[in-house]
Amino acid sequence: MIRSWFEWVDAMPSSIAIRESVFGYPYLLTSHAVSMALFAGLIIMMDLRLLGWAFKRTPLSQVQRQLFPWQMFTMVTSSITGAILLYGQPLRYYGKVFFWTKMVLMVFAGLNALYFHYTTYKTVAAWDTTDRPPFGAKLAGALSIALWFGVVIFGRITAYNWMTFSR
């Protein structure tokens, strides 16, 4: 079923136009890579604070609140460029194990952030200024770094043709 959606997009004139454009792929790919780096970099700066490894003198809630708009902005830019990349070559990505692995890791990274936000972060007032955050905060930070690093790794190796099961 998913395959038929990808085939449907693949046949759209706008998808073909992106695919056949000479500069489309390099422009999209480099914009995606840069916005990803800016996004992941800002996420990891916050994760390092969660671990108590960086910005120790700054309350966590302030790091979170002040970086959040930029995290969202860069997330939107990388999502848009990523979505257009996928839209232009749906069948290329459909057949890639690395692409799907990346998607799964992104879902887990999102769930990790949401879970932290609705559990450990509720008690932030009690440990906001300490440089030794509770275990739940450290775990969320470590998981976030691991998952987003995974997203970066699998995103990069999606460009190789290893473990491609169709096309």
Partner 1 sequence: MLSFFQYLESLKFGAGSEYTVAFINVSHLLCLVVFIGAVLVVDLRLLGSGMKRQPLSEVVRAANPWMLGGFVGMAITGSLQVVATPMKAYFSDQFWLKMELLIVAVILAVVVRLLTASRSEAPAWGKPAGLVSILLWSFIAVQGRLIGLLQ
Residues that bind partner 1 (CB under 8 A): 26, 29-30, 33-34, 37-38, 40-45, 48, 54-58, 62-63, 66-67, 70, 148-149, 152-153, 156-157, 159-160
Taking the complex as a whole, the smallest distance from the CB of residue 25 to partner 1 amounts, in Å, to: 8
Of the two residues 86 and 145, which places its CB atom closer to partner 1 in the complex?
145
Within its chain, how far is the Cα of 35 from the centroid? 10
Of the two residues 139 and 153, which places its CB atom closer to partner 1 in the complex?
153
Of the two residues 71 and 112, which places its CB atom closer to partner 1 in the complex?
71
CA atoms lying within 13 Å on the CB side of residue 107: 6
Token readout for 159 is 């460009």
With contact defined as beta carbons under 8 Å apart, do 74 and 35 qualify? yes
Taking the complex as a whole, the smallest distance from the CB of residue 130 to partner 1 amounts, in Å, to: 16
DSSP H or E stretch at residue 102: helix 97-118
**Three-class secondary structure of residue 23 per DSSP:** coil
